[in-house]
Structure 1
Amino acid sequence: MSVLLESSSTSATMRRNFWAGVWRVMKRKPSRMVGVVLVLGFAFMGVFGPMFYPAQLPRDPNLITSPPSAQHWLGTDDQGRDVIALVVTGSRYVLLAALVTALITVVVGTGIGLFSGFKRGRWDTVLMRLTDMKLTIPGLPLLLVLSTVWKFGSPTQMGLVLGLLGWGGVARAVRSQTLSLRERGFIEAARGLGLSTTHIVGKELLPSMAPYIAMNMLIAVTGGVYAQVGLFFLGVLPYESNNWGQMLNTAVFRSGALTVPSGLGFLIGPLLAILLLTLAIVLVVDAMDEIFNPRLREE
């Protein structure tokens, strides 16, 4: 009984020390707190933001592509709709698709990289040749071809395709990390005790790489945003739902935002959202790097 109480106390102390360390790292650079707040803000906007607006945003034919004003801080679009309302309602598609992309990229890439690096031998050869083939496939041309037969009407479909096209780099990186960790003493001890591969990978290897995997997931979110926004901006996908890429396409090619000053707010709205999201993720990744790196944390 005393052993269990001591173990529980030790775990609680370790958790307190960890969160105290996190707080010190965040206070060291206030910009990191800004990044966390921005990430949480985008998450709130994607989940709850569209609920604050009607399904069909109100149109004002007297305010078509109007400049920013007190009523419309970033102006209106080519149908007289508020740009900020469009950014908020369009965030759900973009962010959900990016999240699905990141989840699939990390899960598939991590699974293949861990298994390949730990098992070595024939499995390693087969899986790495498969990964190399995947890395040689150009993503954008393939997406352009897929867009002719698949309309990507839902963000889940978009995220699924982008995720299946983006796991190669993560698999390669995780395999390298696994090859390094599998020779460490605690892994050798686990193998010597006869523990199963599932236990070693799930209980020993995976927790050691969790910070690296988490950072890759955040980076994959930005990659998913850029990929889908680029496709909608190029006009290769139908406008079945409002999103930031469709806004950029409309602003440039229909509202003439690059040449007409009154349409500049329509262009700035989605660009500002993408910029702030990227900045937030960069700041959070910077903080995570120091939190999970003892050398950086001690400096």
Structure 2
Amino acid sequence: MSATLIPEAGAPAGVTMRRNFWRGVWRVLLRKPSRMAGVVIIIGFVFMGVFGPMFYPDHLPDDPNAITQPPSWEHWFGTDPQGRDVLALVITGSRYVLLTAAVTALITVVVGTAIGLFSGFKRGRWDTVLMRLTDMKLTIPGLPLLLVLATVWKFGSPLQMGLVLGLLGWGGVARAVRSQTLSLRERGFIEAARGLGLSTRHIIGKELLPSMAPYIAMNMLIAVTGAVYSQVGLFFLGVLPYESDNWGVMLNLAVFQAGAMVTPNALGYLLAPLLAILLLTLGIVLVVDAMDEIFNPRLREE
């Protein structure tokens, strides 16, 4: 029998390890029903963002006979001042919000991780230069910069919005990853790899990065929530041009146009996007809790 096989399983060692890992993930998720609920919530939002807008026209039609109606069986969260179904607006607006959040999280984690890993491993002059750049980045106020950019850039695409938010948000991740790298670089397996003369690229890509993958994955999920809050807040404040089906614009129009704070009929128009944001955040928090136990042996219950 080949040395790469496990006699008991009769399968390659790598396959057996992956199978055991996913079994452990499944056990951790089942240990607390709330964690499975978090997974279902995130999958539901992904499905809504990808497929939900396909069931509606690009521009929802106005209905003068149903202006600012309260919740009913026909319109679960009521209608807006143009007579459009609020739930439909939340669904069609989810794609912009979620795609922006995904792009933001990807850029934040990729840039922050690359700088943090390289800086923490190389130390010396590279570490000094990269960390000074990171410190400069952290001192740049994001909101005033976005106000300036909004005068020349309309952010009509979620990719544009995600790019800007991502480039503004990688500093904290770079600092955190650098701290983790400084701790890991003194471990025995890293010292052994350096003693064997392996390249920096190999050590970072094959040794350090896999060890930090769980930490990076959790940072990506957390970055998603930060991106959702940032873009919704900017649209709510009126800093960015309106997208009629964006959650932040819905909040702005609900408060300042429909008078949701004083008009009971418009309350659903305000609550629907708020509930969507809170539910998405709850799902991410529950999944991060599960990931923390999966990848932190000290938290695993016997």
Same fold (TM over 0.5): yes
Task: Give the distance between the partners of 2:97 and 2:136, measured in 1 at CA.
Answer: 28
Query: In structure 1, what is the equivalent of residue 224 of structure 2?
Result: 221
Correspondence for 1:264 among 262, 267, 276 = 267
Task: Give the distance between the partners of 1:107 and 1:212, measured in 2 at CA.
Answer: 13
Does the CA-based 8 Å contact 2:104-2:223 persist in structure 1?
yes
TM-score by length of 1: 0.98
The code of the aligned residue for 2:266 comes to G
Query: In structure 2, what is the equivalent of residue 104 of structure 1?
Result: 107
Query: In structure 2, what is the equivalent of residue 72 of structure 1?
Result: 75
Query: In structure 1, what is the equivalent of residue 164 of structure 2?
Result: 161
Task: Give the distance between the partners of 2:155 and 2:36, measured in 1 at CA.
Answer: 35
- Deviation by residue 1:94-146 (Cα, 9 ceiling, x = unmatched): 00001000000000000000000000000000000000011111111111121
Query: Are residue 58 (structure 1) and residue 61 (structure 2) matched?
Result: yes
Query: Per the alignment, in what secondary structure is the counterpart of residue 2 of structure 1?
Result: coil
Deviation at 1:267, TM superposition (A): 0.3
Query: In structure 2, what is the equivalent of residue 207 of structure 1?
Result: 210
Does the CA-based 8 Å contact 2:184-2:190 persist in structure 1?
yes
Does the CA-based 8 Å contact 1:109-1:168 persist in structure 2?
yes
Deviation at 1:13, TM superposition (A): 2.0
Query: In structure 1, what is the equivalent of residue 25 of structure 2?
Result: 22
Query: In structure 2, what is the equivalent of residue 88 of structure 1?
Result: 91
Task: Give the distance between the partners of 1:124 and 1:241, measured in 2 at CA.
Answer: 45
Task: Give the distance between the partners of 2:171 and 2:238, measured in 1 at CA.
Answer: 27
Equivalent runs, 1:225-236 vs 2, <5 Å: 225-236=228-239
Task: Give the distance between the partners of 1:98 and 1:120, measured in 2 at CA.
Answer: 32
The code of the aligned residue for 2:41 comes to L
Query: Are residue 143 (structure 1) and residue 146 (structure 2) matched?
Result: yes
Does the CA-based 8 Å contact 2:68-2:81 persist in structure 1?
yes
The code of the aligned residue for 2:258 comes to S
Query: In structure 1, what is the equivalent of residue 178 of structure 2?
Result: 175
Query: In structure 1, what is the equivalent of residue 194 of structure 2?
Result: 191
Query: In structure 2, what is the equivalent of residue 126 of structure 1?
Result: 129
- Deviation by residue 1:69-109 (Cα, 9 ceiling, x = unmatched): 11000000010000000000000000000100000000000
Task: Give the distance between the partners of 1:141 and 1:286, measured in 2 at CA.
Answer: 34
Task: Give the distance between the partners of 2:82 and 2:281, measured in 1 at CA.
Answer: 29
Judged with a 3 Å threshold, the aligned counterparts in structure 2 of structure 1 residues 282 and 221 are, in CA distance, closer, same or farther, namely same
Task: Give the distance between the partners of 1:103 and 1:136, measured in 2 at CA.
Answer: 22
Q: Percent identity?
A: 83
RMSD of equivalent CA atoms: 1.2
- Deviation by residue 1:42-69 (Cα, 9 ceiling, x = unmatched): 0001111000111221321111111001
Does the CA-based 8 Å contact 2:243-2:249 persist in structure 1?
no
Does the CA-based 8 Å contact 1:117-1:179 persist in structure 2?
yes
Task: Give the distance between the partners of 2:154 and 2:19, measured in 1 at CA.
Answer: 49
Judged with a 3 Å threshold, the aligned counterparts in structure 2 of structure 1 residues 8 and 128 are, in CA distance, closer, same or farther, namely farther
The code of the aligned residue for 1:2 comes to S
Task: Give the distance between the partners of 2:32 and 2:112, measured in 1 at CA.
Answer: 32
Deviation at 1:16, TM superposition (A): 2.1
Query: Are residue 41 (structure 1) and residue 32 (structure 2) matched?
Result: no
Task: Give the distance between the partners of 2:223 and 2:65, measured in 1 at CA.
Answer: 41
Deviation at 1:290, TM superposition (A): 0.2
Task: Give the distance between the partners of 1:186 and 1:291, measured in 2 at CA.
Answer: 22
- Deviation by residue 1:22-53 (Cα, 9 ceiling, x = unmatched): 11111111000000000000000111100011
TM-score by length of 2: 0.97
Runs of 5+ consecutive residues of structure 2 not aligned to the other structure? none
Does the CA-based 8 Å contact 1:110-1:170 persist in structure 2?
yes
- Deviation by residue 1:240-268 (Cα, 9 ceiling, x = unmatched): 45210010000000000000000000000
Runs of 5+ consecutive residues of structure 1 not aligned to the other structure? none
Query: Are residue 3 (structure 1) and residue 3 (structure 2) matched?
Result: yes
Query: In structure 2, what is the equivalent of residue 288 of structure 1?
Result: 291
Task: Give the distance between the partners of 2:134 and 2:274, measured in 1 at CA.
Answer: 33
| Total equivalences in the alignment | 299
The code of the aligned residue for 1:74 comes to F
